[in-house]
Amino acid sequence: MSTRRPASRVATPVPAENGSNHGERNSVVLGPRDRLVGQLYIEGDLRVAGTVEGNLEATGDIEIAGAGKVNGDVTAYNRLTVGSDASLIAGDVRVARLTVEDGATFSGKVSMGKRSAAKAPAPEPQLPREPQPQMLAEAAPRSPEPVTVQVAEAPAPQAVVTPQAKSRISVSEALNPKAVSAPQQKSKVAPTPPPKPVQQKGKRR
C-alpha cells in the first residue's frame, strides 16, 4: 500500500489565505509520543501516530498511522486512512473516502458518499473585519440592532463626527450625513456620559 507517504495527496482546495505555506497544503503531524486531548480543526492534512482523545476535523486527509490511537469523532473532507496497527474508536466518522487496513481497530458510525463531510467550514477564518471608526464603536453599544452600524458606514469618513461629539447617534441621524456632521446644532439627544472605551468585537454581522 502506498498510503504511508504524508505529502502525496490528491489536492483539495484549501483557502488561499490559509496562513502557513503558500500554495502547498498544510500538514500537521502528531508523532508517536504526542498526545492531544481536545478538538482539532486543520485546514489541510493530518497525520496521527500518537494519541488523540477528542474530535478531529481536516479539510484534506486524515491518516491514523503507526500505533496511533484516536478516540473521538473524525471528519475528513477527503480521505481517512486507518493503518494496520492503528485504532479509531469513534462516535461519528464522516469522510469522503475511507481506507481501513487489515489489522486496524475501527468502530463507529460511518457516513460517506454524500457531501455530508463537507459542511461549511464555519470556524472563523475571516474574523478580522475591516476596522471600524472609533465613533461607531462608541455609538453602537447602546443600540441592540446592528442596523445603526451598517447605515452609519455609508457616509464618507469625514462625515463621521469627531470624538468630541459625545451624543449618541440615532438611526435617523445616521441616515442623514448632515445631521451627523453637525450634531452640536441639531442634536436631540441629551448628553450622555463620556464614551466608554468599549470596543465590540465579534458577534457583529
By the rule CB under 8 A, 73 interacts with another protein? no
By the rule CB under 8 A, 141 interacts with another protein? no
Q: Which lies closer to another protein via its Cβ, residue 66 or residue 177?
A: 66
Coil, helix or strand for 171? helix
Figure out which of the listed residues 106, 133, 153, 175 binds another protein, where binding follows CB under 8 A: 106
By the rule CB under 8 A, 25 interacts with another protein? no
The sign one gets for the Cα dihedral 79, 84, 86, 91 is positive
Cα–Cα distance for residue pair 91/93, rounded to 1 Å: 7
Please give the radius of gyration of the chain, using alpha carbons only, rounded to the nearest integer: 26
By the rule CB under 8 A, 40 interacts with another protein? no
By the rule CB under 8 A, 110 interacts with another protein? yes
Cβ count within 10 A of residue 161: 22
Figure out which of the listed residues 113, 125, 146, 191 binds another protein, where binding follows CB under 8 A: 113
Residues 86 to 105 in contact with another protein, rule: CB under 8 A: 97-105
Angle at 95 between CA 126 and CA 53, to 5 degrees: 80
Residues that bind another protein (CB under 8 A): 3, 79, 97-113
